[in-house]
Chain A
Amino acid sequence: MSTLLEVKNLKKYFKTPGGMLHAVDDVSFSINRGETLGVVGESGCGKSTLGRTVIHLLPKTSGQIIFDGEDISDVDDHKLKELRRDMQMIFQDPFSSLNPRMSISQIISEPLKIYHVCKNSKELDSRVTALMETVGLALRFRDAYPHELDGGRRQRVGIARALALDPKFIVCDEPVSALDVSIQAQILNLMQDLQKERGLTFIFITHDLSVVKHISDNISVMYLGNMVEKSPKKELFDNPLHPYTKALLSAIPQASIHRKKERILLEGEITSPINPKPGCRFAARCIYAQDRCREAAPPLEEMAPGHFCACYRAKELAQG
């Protein structure tokens, strides 16, 4: 397995009237070809910003991004356009991510036109047809407009658009959160099939832990711009180390009446990452917080093979 994407010390700050907003603060990770990295966190934790910064939809503040063996941290417009063929994105809201004034075939064919992939309109037509079949869209919707389709189908259009240029890597920003359960399952299956067929690599951003568990190989948990825990999926769910991950896992309501778990209730709410204080960002809500947690931020350390956690007390707490 070779590494497709490596991100080192990525930072993205926004200037706000209240001060510097540390949306993504010193995040590093890597993804292997054909694998899925799930990024979980609550609203405002910087997970969407992370995804957008990685594919250069937002300019980064600092840090290094290595894609396919090539440093793409700083690229010019020309190179960026080349890169876009390999990195695509699937958006959260199937209702606002499609231009309401373009028909389905226009939306799907647009990337092909921009990159002059097809020699003539006949070839373009057959490419669009093939893409629609790949994502399971009936061909009679070629000339329909987005508002005539339901959420699941619109999301299929978004997926087809992302696949049009045959990318290697796709950032999926909450692609199923706006969908109903029964439709959500259809889309998740489609994405898994596509990944297998085409060897795609995904970053899957979501707030839904059960979805991320279903689709990812590795999972990283974010809290206020920091990555607090990163581990293979099974390890994370069997043996969560960070107190935030534990609370998050215990907070999910389960569709069963037998598994009444001990719930760790977090006090307070997520604070804002504007001009954050030094120390662990989670310390304010953490029941295990000590003085050292408030003084300096804990580094992301490998606690078990492949299992990283940013908490001073993780080891000691894990031992009981």
Chain B
Amino acid sequence: MNNTVSFKEYILKTGTASVQEYSAENDNYVRKSQLREIWGRFCKNKIALLGLICLLLLVAMALFADVIAPEGYDNQDLYNKFALPSAEHWFGTDNVGRDIFDRVVHGSRISLTVGMISVSIAAVVGILLGSIAGYYGGRTDNIIMRILDVFMSVPGILLSLSIAAALGPGLFNLMIAVGIGSVPGYARIVRASILSVKEQEYIEAAHCIGCSNARIIFRHVLPNCLAPIIVQATLGVASAILVASSMSFLGLGLEPPIPEWGAMLSVGRPYIRDYWHLVAFPGIAIMITVFSLNVFGDGLRDALDPRLKQ
């Protein structure tokens, strides 16, 4: 037992080398601006990058539609109906001899606007209602959610139809009608994720440093609920374009000569057996939009989450 003392005492006595608090690591944490960091994470996802490029091209096409297709979209050439794609008419012509390429290009303006704006309307209203319901809980929650339940019990398209019928035709009314129809979906998703985030200790900490309720919702809760909202929104654009087209088809959306991808699909539908190009090109346009939005949305969701850094 003699060296009982000696080991420990020896070590403690001779242990004089200084240990810096942080000497154990040699990782160098480099300061980076947040935007650049998000962009860096986004660029690592090649498919998402492709989606962004496609999306930018589509937006450019909408902005410069008059330059790309200067002839306009409603020049009828009745001698040249149902022409197949050729050098003159890249995408062929439709049932009244209008150039499909021109119509797809011009249609991007309407379709993209309808898709994005109606989703924005739906998302903003839905997030607001959902966060209020989820955050405050109790009676507020009950009232909001029961009203939304009533909305949800009506099929979405029927709801949009009745709103559009009440507001009358027109681009803006169409967007409102389509947007309101999908509000309950957003509200439900937001509420569910807020309920789980609300229980986290950092929300309590935020109360503790004197944050107002609005600040807590927008600064602490919502950023942590982003992932499902982004997914829902990107998927929502596609369905908004389709709903808008069905409404145009029923005469509650845009008036006929105005090109709109969904409307073009419904015009071409009766001829699909003989003239595939009437539906193929607007369909492809919708598909590309939806696809690029989806992959872009996924990439964005991951890039915005600082935890997913590899």
Contact = CB atoms under 8 A, between A and B. Distances in A.
A and B associate: yes
Interface in A132-186: 136, 138, 140-145, 147-148, 158, 161-162, 164-165
A87 B62 CA distance: 56
Interface in B107-134: none
B224 A143 contact: no
A99 interface: yes
Contact of A100 (B28, B205, B209, B307): B307
A88 interface: yes
A97 B209 contact: no
A81 interface: yes
B205 A145 contact: no
B71 interface: no
B66 to A, nearest CB: 42
Contact of A89 (B32, B208, B219): B208
Interface string B275-310: 000000000000000000000000000001111010
Contacts of A143: 29, 31-32, 34
B208 A100 contact: no
Contact of A138 (B22, B210, B307): B22
A97 B202 contact: yes
A145 B304 CA distance: 12
Contacts of A144: 29
Contacts of B304: 101
B208 A84 contact: yes
A144 B210 CA distance: 24
Nearest to B28: A140
Contacts of A85: 210
Contacts of B208: 55, 57, 84, 88-89, 162
B307 A91 contact: no
Interface stretch (A25-33, A107-115, A249-257, A312-320): A107-115
Range for the number of chain B residues in contact with chain A? 20 to 34
Contacts of A164: 209
B201 A101 contact: no
A93 B307 contact: no
Contact of B209 (A101, A114, A145): A114
B193 to A, nearest CB: 13
A114 B210 contact: yes
Contact of B21 (A136, A142, A161): A136
B200 interface: yes
A145 B306 contact: yes
B268 to A, nearest CB: 46
Range for the number of chain A residues in contact with chain B? 35 or more
Nearest to B223: A101
Contacts of A141: 29
A57 B209 contact: no
A7 to B, nearest CB: 18
A96 interface: yes
A98 interface: yes
A86 B208 CA distance: 11
Nearest to B31: A143
B211 interface: yes
Given A96-B200, A99-B220, A99-B224, A140 B29 contact: yes
Quick one: which of B201, B205, B206, B305 has the most chain A CB within 10 A?
B205
Contacts of B29: 140-141, 143-144, 148
Interface string B250-294: 000000000000000000000000000000000000000000000
Contacts of A55: 208
A301 B96 CA distance: 98
Nearest to A83: B210
Contacts of A98: 202, 205
Contacts of B77: none
Nearest to A93: B201
Contacts of B209: 84, 88, 110-111, 114, 161, 164-165
A92 interface: yes
Given A93-B201, A142-B31, A158-B205, A100 B211 contact: no
Interface in B201-255: 201-202, 204-211, 215, 219-220, 223-224
Interface string B20-36: 01100000110110100
Nearest to B205: A97
Quick one: which of B208, B215, B304 has the most chain A CB within 10 A?
B208
Contact of B210 (A111, A140, A158): A111
B21 A96 contact: no
A270 B100 CA distance: 77
Nearest to A101: B223
Given A114-B210, A114-B211, A145-B307, A91 B31 contact: no
Contacts of B207: 57
A143 B307 CA distance: 13
Contacts of A195: none
Contact of B204 (A91, A100, A111, A115): A91
Nearest to B29: A140
Interface of B: 21-22, 28-29, 31-32, 34, 200-202, 204-211, 215, 219-220, 223-224, 304-307, 309
Given A101-B304, A164-B209, 7 more contacts: A84-B210, A88-B208, A89-B208, A92-B201, A99-B220, A111-B210, A140-B28
